[in-house]
Structure 1
Amino acid sequence: MNPWFETVTEAQRRAKKRLPKSVYGALIAGSERGQTIEDNQKAFTELGFAPHVAGPIGERDQSTTLLGQPLSMPVMISPTGVQAVHPDGEVAVARAAAARGIPMGLSSFASKPIEDVIAANPSTFFQLYWCGSKEDLVERMGRARAAGAVGLILTLDWSFSHGRDWGSPVIPEQLDLRTMVKFAPQTLIRPRWLSTYLRSGSLPDLTAPNMAVRGGAAPGFFGAYGEWMGTPPPDWDDVRWICEQWDGPVLLKGVIRVDDARRAVDAGVAGISVSNHGGNNLDGTPASIRALPVIADAVGDQIEVVLDGGIRRGSDVVKAVALGARAVLIGRAYLWGLAANGQAGVENVLDILRGGIDSALLGLRKTQVTELDRGDVVVPAGFERALGVADAAADEETSAPAERTKTEAGVR
């Protein structure tokens, strides 16, 4: 079989064919009915383009910047947890991203140490969950800073809604002999996946080395998640505290409402990701792209806005940028590429997106991706979801008298 594939859909088909059922199930899973994960993709099909038939032609420039980092195209690797689809995991993804000139997002629950990943891609953002004590958080941020992370991704858009109508994927707590016997029927019928691990001399790593604190051993997958589930959720003062602790840009991931976007600005973040955690959070949350335009209008002139969720084609990237995103984060798409063909498979997926972006720019007669605007996209009536707009307006009205009083008193 030719290792090259032409579409992200083909990468997904090959991943499904190669991976054990439970591993593939973990990649495609969405919470409960899967309404949100479905809408993340469906929403892009409702958007159209308004192409020109004449205008500037020649080489298109896809480059942009995100939180001080140069991007060869408006795409970034979204952090995802333990990547048991390939022995090289996050290191292979980081190398692929570096080879294609884009930043890497590394999960707290990654299977590879942050030091190894940053060595593969110096433009790496470390993702932080609000997990454990503040002392633990400071230690993890200190390790990320010492390793050379260029930014922090504070992920708050997950409430661990793990129930799924079609059955939750089975993830073992550890790979002991009993577990291997239990999962043997799945792995034996996927010999190529198994042989990849056998050749590497390792088994899928279900520990989270970046969650270790105070010199302790890396916790297991469920140990790390258990700590996170047992930690009371943060408030906006906690978000502000994170920004104060981290000497660099903080991207807040999980914003889907205008009032939250405005509070994020007040808390001091440098950017927000409009995201519903890929459909793995609260099912029934609208597609990220539906919430993007109104959020970009509200805060896009104050902080950088990116989109996460449902990207499968280069044209999806162009639609998101036209509607106000500086760049997009991709998750499942690169994991399918990793499963299909390791680092080369991730590079393949990125090349597919780059080609699709270029085609869309050509059709729209744009020479630079930064020239995209709302006029390039056909948005049907009723497409957008303006969440938290009334609350944001009420907050502004409530704070206005106090601000006027301060001004009149000469405080400002």
Structure 2
Amino acid sequence: MSSTRTWFESVAEAERRARRILPPSVFAAIRAGAEGGVTLSENVAAFSRLALLPTVADLPAERTLATVVMGTPVSFPVLLSPTGVQAVHPEGEVAVARAAKEADTLMGVSAFASSPLEAVAAVTEKFLFQTYWSGSRSLLTSRLQRAREAGARGLIVTLDWCFDFRRDWGSPWIPQRLDTKAIVRYLPELVRRPGYVQRYLAAGGPPDLGVPNMADLRGEVPGFFAAFEEWMRTPPPTWDDLAWLREQWDGPFMIKGVTRVQDARRARDIGATAISVSNHGGNNLDSTPATVRCLPAIVDAVGDDIEVLLDGGVRRGSDVVKALALGARAVMIGRPYLWGLAAGGTLGVTNVLEILRAGVSETLYALGKASLAELNRADVLVPDGFAIGDRQVDG
């Protein structure tokens, strides 16, 4: 299907449309990686260094893409990673939830989301709540209880960020609140993006920078920077802290941000049911290896005991298949669906998911595989020195 005004053929086209629609500062906040963007670029480029080996006969007429992730059946192995303050579209996470429901897959809802958990739960039952180690233990348990009552299918604990805002090309300015002073400062950008302004005017006004899922024990909703300060002021967790947190959540439990074998083993040992091999999309420590390079050694170390997901650099259905052939249960995407959200709201997110779904199906067909379970490492040519071995990751 060729691209039209409301439909696009590739994730790259979604990115181009998002760039045209969003104010430059908003687009930069999504697109940028830490410091020089080395890891951001490597996450994507690493997939191109993996070759696939197609076959030409006895190809499967039908392919099964369904799998189970953290105890929840999904129609294909692509999940929507939690991302905070989705100011690319007025409906934010609610629009994403509609697309996730239509695609029959799981979405992650960030503690720093623009929309409350309950608004997402009203649209889809298949969602995971993501939290940071932030605030007191009593505050953490209250947030977990709220997620449990909302119906979250699992918990994601994100650990892969060292508060690095440095960008070699400059970090976009983010206001404390969208007051008159902030709007005046943004005015030159807004004048150039009338469609973005019209969306918000039609929705009732500029985005609210409050983060409802970080409400305190009295139920008061903090602004983004107040919530961020709480997080930064909280001493980082020990493995004992994470073991305690695991005990507070009686359902599926994921630790996100693993790139070392030793961390994968510790996550398994505290009872985590899943890990996400992730470097925060290149927004953590720059020069961290691409996640797909870290994946094989981690799968070899813990893959029989725990679900291993991959997050970072996925732009095509063939990337998904490569990750699964190397042992991932599923992948998580962030920027691609945010670009789709910016380009077309729910329809744009659906568009991105359908691009990836079609790509997974077509790649399986070319490989002669009728299901995801038939994939194995023999389907991928991994160049010498590509995979980060146990010694390098665990040393």
Q: TM-score range by the shorter chain?
A: over 0.9
Q: Which deviates more, 158-167 or 214-223?
A: 214-223
Question: Retained in 2: the 8 A contact 1:29–1:169?
Answer: no
* C-alpha distance in 1 between matches for 2:234 and 2:127: 26
The match for 2:337 is 334
| Displacement after TM superposition at 1:204 (Å) | 1.2
The counterpart of 1:124, out of the listed 105, 123, 127, is 127
Shift of 1:318: 0.4
Q: Deviations over 1:262-308 (max 9, x none)?
A: 11111110010000000000001000000001100110000000000
Contact 2:67 2:74 in 1 (8 A): yes
5 Å-filtered alignment, 1:260-275, equals 260-275=263-278
The one-letter code of the counterpart of 2:279 is N
Q: Counterpart in 1 of 2:288?
A: 285
Look up the match of 1:401. none
Distance in structure 2 (CA, Å) of the matches to 1:138 and 1:253: 19
User: Matches of 2:208 and 2:89 in 1, distance apart?
Assistant: 10
- Select which of 376, 379, 394 maps to 1:376: 379
Corresponding position of 1:245: 248
Could you tell me how far apart the structure 2 residues matched to 1:109 and 1:177 are? 23
Q: Quick one: which amino acid aligns to residue 304 of structure 1? A: E
Q: Distance in 2 between matches of 1:118 and 1:33?
A: 38
Q: What's the CA shift for 1:170? A: 1.4
Deviation at 1:217, TM superposition (A): 2.0
Q: CA RMSD in A?
A: 1.1
2:350 counterpart of 1:347: yes
Q: Which stretch of structure 1 is more off in the superposition, 159-168 or 333-342? A: 159-168
2:48 corresponds to 1:45: yes
Distance 1:64 1:18, change over 3 A: same
- Cα pair 2:59 2:366 within 8 Å, conserved: no
Match status 1:32 vs 2:26: no
Q: Following the alignment from structure 2 to structure 1, what is the Cα–Cα distance between the partners of residues 190 and 393?
A: 52
Amino acid aligned to 1:161: D
Query: Structure 1 residues 158-167 or 55-64, which shifts more?
Result: 55-64
Q: TM (normalized to structure 1)?
A: 0.94
1:148 corresponds to 2:155: no
- Structure 1 stretches of 4+ with a deviation exceeding 6 A read none
**Alpha-carbon offset, residue 390 of structure 1:** 7.8
Give CA deviations for 1:197-225 in whole Å, capped at 9, x if unaligned. Answer: 11111311211000002224211111111
**1:301/1:4 Cα in 2 relative to 1: closer, same or farther (>3 Å)?**
same
In the alignment, the residues of structure 2 paired with residue 379 and residue 276 of structure 1 have an alpha-carbon distance, to the nearest angstrom, of 21
Q: How does 1:376-395 map to 2 (within 5 A)?
A: 376-386=379-389, 391=394
Q: Is this contact kept in 2: 1:259–1:389, CA < 8 A?
A: no
Alignment correspondent of 1:114: 117
Matches within 5 A, 1:70-81: 70-81=73-84
Deviation at 1:55, TM superposition (A): 2.1
Query: Could you tell me which residue of structure 2 aligns to residue 91 of structure 1?
Result: 94
SS in 1 for 2:383: coil
Distance 1:391 1:17 in 2: 43
1:106 match: secondary structure: strand
Q: How many residues align?
A: 392
Say whether 1:164 aligns with 2:167. yes
Residues 259 and 393, structure 2, Cα contact 8 Å, conserved in 1 = no
1:133 corresponds in structure 2 to 136
Question: 1:58-102 CA deviation, whole Å, 9 max, x = no partner?
Answer: 111110000110110101000001000000000100110110010
Q: Aligned equivalents of 2:242 and 2:351: distance in 1? A: 37
Moved more, 5-14 or 172-181: 172-181
Given that residues 259 and 388 in structure 1 are in contact (C-alpha distance below 8 angstroms), is that contact kept between their aligned partners in structure 2? no
- 6-15 vs 54-63, greater mean Cα deviation: 54-63
The one-letter amino acid paired with 1:340 is A
Letter in 2 for 1:150: R
Kept in 2, the 8 Å contact 1:311–1:317? The answer is yes
2:228 counterpart (208, 225, 229): 225
Distance 1:301 1:313, change over 3 A: same
Counterpart Cα distance in 2 of 1:209 and 1:291: 34
Larger Rg: 1
1:136 and 1:390 mapped to 2: Cα distance?
Answer: 34
> What is the deviation of 1:13?
0.1
| 1-structure distance, mates of 2:58, 2:225 | 55
Report deviation, 1:391. Answer: 4.7
Amino acid at match of 2:346: Q
Give the match for residue 174 of structure 1: 177
Distance 1:388 1:279 in 2: 23
Is residue 260–residue 393 contact of structure 2 (8 Å, CA) maintained in 1? no
Contact 2:127 2:152 in 1 (8 A): yes
Separation of aligned partners in 2, 1:33 and 1:360: 33
The 10-residue stretch of structure 1 (193-202 or 11-20) with the greater mean CA deviation from structure 2: 193-202
Q: Distance in 1 between matches of 2:280 and 2:247?
A: 25
Question: Which ranges in structure 2 are unaligned for 5 or more consecutive residues?
Answer: none
Equivalent position of 2:306 in the other structure: 303
Q: Tell me, yes or no, if the aligned pair for 2:21 and 2:195 is still in contact at 8 Å.
A: yes
